Structure 1
Amino acid sequence: MTDKHLHTAHPDVVKRLKRAHGHLQNVIAMIEAERACVDVAQQLHAVERAISAAKKLVIHDHLDHCLEEVVGASPAAIRSSVAEFKDITKYL
């Protein structure tokens, strides 16, 4: 079962993943060219950061759009719990 979920953040997620893809291609080329380990590690770090940023954006987008629909006009205690959950996800 596939549900289509296009949100405003998705183009930015794609951009970040394409950036990670470019960094990863660069890492492969660097290893094949026997570049210095420090240079390779630096590029691998860039790949990790780009993927991590994309993941966080997808999670926050989901929370903002999908959970918000479910919570809607729920009691204040439930809305507060969801708001707290959204806030803590910045530490992912």
Structure 2
Amino acid sequence: MNIPLEENQAIPPSSLSEQGGQEQEGHSHPHSHVHNPESQRQIINRLSRIEGHIRGIKTMVSEDRHCPEVLIQIAAVRGALDRVARLILDEHLTACVARAAHDGNIEAELSELKAALDRFLP
């Protein structure tokens, strides 16, 4: 079974690690990312579960499982990723954007958020 990958969907993880995970192209005013520890824990836990789910899908493909079963699992991962993205967006709005407003950097922060959303949303 061949499942085609879509091109240009995300920044490769190797690119993120080269950038230190925080400072990305166009991020001209890096700020400390001090977030709510509970939110961060929830996000990391969800991502760990998604990672395990992806491994399960990989196993399904290698075992040549029925395509609709694989697609259903992929849909579940997409939904889980969307929920994580909402948590991250909420955290960004309550922490980063609020901090930028306090520091007088709201225009730049909103511009970066808009650019990220343009890539994120279909």
| TM-score, normalised relative to structure 1 | 0.68
User: Greater relative contact order (Cα 8 A, min sep 6): structure 1 or 2?
Assistant: 1
In the alignment of these two chains, the number of paired residues is 77
Q: Which runs of 4+ in 1 moved over 6 A?
A: none
Q: Which residue of 2 aligns with 1:85?
A: none
Higher helix share: 1
Which structure has the greater CA radius of gyration? Answer: 1
Partner of 2:63: 33
Q: CA RMSD in A?
A: 2.6
Counterpart residue number, 2:28: none
Classify 1:4/1:71 alpha carbon distance in 2 versus 1 (closer, same or farther; 3 Å): closer
**Percentage of identical aligned residues:** 24
Instruction: Give the match's secondary structure for 2:34.
Output: coil
Residues 1:14 and 2:40 aligned together: no
Unaligned runs of 5+ in 2: 1-19, 23-31, 103-109, 111-116
How far off its partner does 1:5 sit?
A: 2.6
Task: Give TM-score scaled by structure 2 length.
Answer: 0.53
Amino acid at match of 2:48: K
Which consecutive residues of structure 1, in runs of 5 or more, have no partner in the other structure?
73-81, 83-88
